[in-house]
Amino acid sequence: MELKITDLNKTYPNGVQALKDVNLEVPLGMFGLLGPNGAGKSTLMRTIATLQEADSGQILLGDINVLYDKEKVRKLLGYLPQEFGLYPKVTAEDLLNHIATLKGITSKSERKELVDALLQKVNLHSHRKKNLGTFSGGMKQRFGIAQALIGNPKLIIVDEPTAGLDPTERNRFHNLLSEIGENTIVILSTHIVEDVSHLCSNMAIINQGQVVLKGIPTEIVGSMTDKIFKKTISKEEIDDYRSEYQVISSDLFAGNTVIHIYSETDPGNGFSSVAPDLEDVYFKTILGERSETQLI
Ligand code: ADP
């Protein structure tokens, strides 16, 4: 099964055009949708999740017309929204059991078996009797995945799942997602480049409502080989470098500033070539021809 988005457009009543002619093919596996805040990721996720209307365009999940056959899509969908409200005084086990009932699993024993298996899967079984209000951010996100998995979805959408998680929690969440991605379409929407470089076999970058780059991360990164150069400079020099080169990132390192620039040819002047990574690609793409680093 594949998800295919064609010429999707959405303008909000206040005039903000959140999606502009979006075209994407999303195959089985983990798909990363990367973009800065305000790029249109949530709008796209909510539209695919049938929670919001588009103005024009088409979305097909296999042969299901997503924008019209909403009920069919909902039966195949697991959704972990950006804002995930939990009932703080309900236990993990009880809430999963309740959601399973809502999703039509009527047999009590079947529900118990499913809830137990899901809690094991997301590593929350020993916390099943605890109220959700006592959960850490990472535990809440893993609970969110457990509820999204009820009903064996064919399409799972996770919107900004790792924002606010500490490195250990993020790592655990990554492992969980990549397990799920083996036989499901998983769309991971994020502004964190590392989430995509660690996990996704396909990706797209969206900026100001438009898909500005799409493909296989390793190929995309490979296309920038021999075009990224770095140099350590002092902080005061950065403006000069920005006016002369296409600076795509600047990082403080041991009191100095390390800049990465994009250049089709060897710039000389003390720059050395570095192997590109997805972060270089991302900032080059988002910043376009401007050499600004306010997004970093
Ligand atoms: P992202 O998820 O990438 O941060 P969003 O889809 O939330 O992006 O937002 C895309 C753009 O649409 C932003 O400019 C945002 O302010 C605007 N927007 C989002 N939701 C609404 C809404 N309900 N009404 C008006 N504008 C909105």
> Quick one: how far is CA 80 from the chain centroid?
11
Range with lowest mean pLDDT among 16-25, 64-73, 170-179: 170-179
217 with 200: CB under 8 angstroms?
Answer: yes
Over range 45-50, report the average pLDDT: 96
Residue 187's nearest CA partner among 37, 53, 46, 86 is 46
If you measure from the C-alpha of residue 12 to the centroid of ligand 1, how many angstroms do you get, rounded to a whole number?
8
Per-residue pLDDT of 219-228, as tens digits, reads 999 999 999 9
- Angle of helix 108-121 versus helix 137-149 axis, rounded to 10: 140
187 with 158: CB under 8 angstroms?
Answer: yes
Q: How far apart are CA 14 and CA 34, in angstroms?
A: 25
Per-residue pLDDT of 136-148, as tens digits, reads 888 888 899 899 9
β-pair partners for 250? 259
Q: Which domains does the chain have, with CATH numbers?
A: 3-215 (3.40.50.300), 224-295 (no CATH)
- Supply the pLDDT for residue 94: 95
Residue 43's nearest CA partner among 208, 215, 194 is 208
Q: Which residue minimizes the CA distance to atom 24 of ligand 1?
A: 12
- Ligand 1 binding pocket, CB closer than 6 Å: 12, 14, 16, 18, 35, 37-43
Confidence at 176, pLDDT banded by 50, 70, 90: confident
Q: pTM value? A: 0.88
> Does the structure show a pLDDT above 80 at 75?
yes
- Supply the pLDDT for residue 288: 64
Q: Any idea what DSSP says for residue 274?
A: -
- Supply the pLDDT for residue 194: 86
